[in-house]
Homo-oligomer: A and B are copies of this chain.
Amino acid sequence: MTSILHKIEIERSPEEVFKALSDPASLTCWWTQAQADNPDQKIAFRFGPEGDHIVRMQVDEQLPDKKVVWQCIEGPWAETGNFVFDLEPIDCGTALRFAHHGWPAADDFFMHCNSKWGFFLVVSLKSYLETGTGQPHPADPAI
């Protein structure tokens, strides 16, 4: 098993970063259109130019200002889908460690998703929190 792993620093408080990772309206501003499926338990994300590819996440854990854990229950990561966001307060704001665990192999889809997470975290999430404007799907680069 292998994992996608990222670490970034964001000049905003853990409270603000946590909101961007847990509130569907905020997730929509930096990742992709998100809707609570069943409040506090599931979130449905829409992908594709028409928004017709659904990824459904079960929210397994939400520790305010500290941690968010999702299990993918529908979509391309249903077999590989344990997502963990860990927040740590630092002098300039927040260190965010991200892991997408459970990949059986580091294949092309793993590498593609790793590159996409690089974009969504380093550019879209960081910019959304620091400037107010993200670059959510489908405005992400076509790679």
Contact in complex: A114, B3 (CB < 8 Å): no
- The secondary-structure label for the interface of chain A is helix
Q: How far is the CA of A67 from the CA of B20 in the complex (A)?
A: 39
Chain B CB within 8 A of A47 CB: no
Q: Which of A98-143 contact B (CB under 8 A)?
A: 106, 108, 110-112, 114-119, 121-123, 126-127, 141-143
Q: Which of A9, A97, A115 has the most CB of B within 10 A?
A: A115
**Is residue A66 within 8 Å, beta carbon to beta carbon, of the partner chain?**
no
Bound-state Cα–Cα, A7 to B8, Å = 20
**A interface vs B, CB < 8 Å?**
3, 5-9, 97, 106, 108, 110-112, 114-119, 121-123, 126-127, 141-143
